[in-house]
Every structure is written in C-alpha cells, then in structure tokens.
Amino acid sequence: MTAPTITVRRAADRFATQTSWGQSLHTFSFGAHYDPGNVGHGALLANNDELLGAGSGFDDHPHANAEIVTWVLSGSLVHTDSRGHSGIVHPGLAQRLSAGAGIVHAERNDAYRIDPSHPQVPVHFVQMWVRPDQPGLPPSYSQREVDLADLDRGWVPVASGTRTDAAVTLASAGSTLWVTTLQPGQNRQLPPAPLLHLYVASGDLSCETVGRLSTGDSLRITGAAELRLTGGVSPAEVLVWEMAA
C-alpha cells in the first residue's frame, strides 16, 4: 500500500490581496496571483480567507461552473444575485451558490443597513470553490442554519454532494465540507478519504506526524492518512474537505 502524501502550507505562504477596505488571503492561485504548482487540490479550486470592513464588499461580478461555499467566522455578509436570491450570512449559516451556466452576485458587509441588530463590524469569512461534476448546470442557491454547539461535539457535514445530513448540497458528488471546533487537549480523527484538505480557520492544534498548525495553515493529504488532531493552546475552528480521487 502506498503511504499517504502530506503537504503543509503555512499561513505566511498564502497569496495576499490588500485594499483600503479589506484583505483576501488565498491558499491557492487566485486572480492575479498565479503559481502553476498551486492551482488547487482535488476538486477544491479556491480557499479564500476574507476580511471586509463595514460598508464595503464585492459589488456585482460574474461566476460560472463553480460550487461556491461561504462559511462566516464573525460578523455578517449580505448576498444578492441576478437570480433574485438574497440572504444575510452569519456564523452558523451554511451558504452555497452553484454558479452553473452563469450568475452575477454581490457580497457586502452592510447587513446593518437592512437589520439594525447587526453591528457595524468587519466580517471574517472563508469562501471555497469546488469544481462541479458537470459544467453548465442551472444556477441555484441554498442556505441553512447549523447548530454551532454541534461543532464542539464532532465533525459536522456543512456541504456535501452525497451526504443527506449535510446542511447544503453540492453538485460535486465526491466532495464534503466538514467543520469542527477543538478545545485545548480535545481530539478528533480526520475522516479517511482519497483526498483531504484541512484549513485552520482560527486557533491552533497539533496533527499526528505533522506537528503544530496555527491560524491560516493548511494540509493537503493524498491517500487515507486517518490522522489524529489535538487541540492546542487556543480553541481552533477547522475546515476539512473530503474529496474523491
């Protein structure tokens, strides 16, 4: 049996896009940042860590043939698109936009203008793009609440192309996004899969055979490694994509 391949990508190695109103940190090649050796892992095409100031955001822009999953860590994000979908995405709300044959959408940190209960604070979120199984599908949108308390108890399927218990569905049959939180000293076993991508959204942890991982670090695993994670000094929020080969 071939031993699994494990690649560590540190937070400091991410590409950065900086503006006066926000910051985007790209785990993979994205936009003007191109590295032919870093264009994705399996079906995962993008893993962008975004921070947007209040009143700012991304105005109307097009997408096609990508399953776009957004997971908010803090603050809130307003989504609108050319198909009439809209929503305020906040921590614990899973959101999926299937761009399909083509769609135009906007994402802005201005929920406070719609609902005064939302404070004027930065929004911090991770947006991930997955390759769909078929191009040119009809665009669609889905959002659904996740019980954040469940993250403390184990892996929660947030988006999936196969699992019926996932919060939102994907047009990528072999892909599942799992999310969990780890308290100091707490253990989790990584799911066995042909391909895994692990991203530390916040906090720190240690990974068996790898060592310490901190905010913004990621792992790319090819082969069923079934490694154990252990919570570090500060609570960690971990996003793991399980993918078919």
* Continuous H helices in 86-140: 111-114
- Supply the CATH number for residue 221's domain: 2.60.120.10
pLDDT at 63 over 90: yes
Q: Which contacts qualify for 85-88: CB closer than 8 Å, 24 or more apart?
A: 85/141, 87/141, 87/143, 88/114, 88/115, 88/118
pLDDT of amino acid 121: 96
- Residue 239: give the domain boundaries: 5-243
- Rounded-to-5 percentages of helix, strand, coil across the chain: 5, 50, 45
Q: Token pair 């993979």 is at which residue?
A: 28
pTM of the prediction? Answer: 0.96
Q: Count CB atoms within 10 A of the CB of residue 86.
A: 14
Across the chain, what does the average pLDDT equal?
96
Grouping H, G, I as helix, E, B as strand and the rest as coil, residue 243 is: strand
pLDDT at 211 over 80: yes
N-terminal to C-terminal alpha carbon distance within the chain? 16
User: What domain count does the chain have?
Assistant: 1
* Continuous H helices in the chain: 111-114, 148-151
pLDDT at 128 over 60: yes
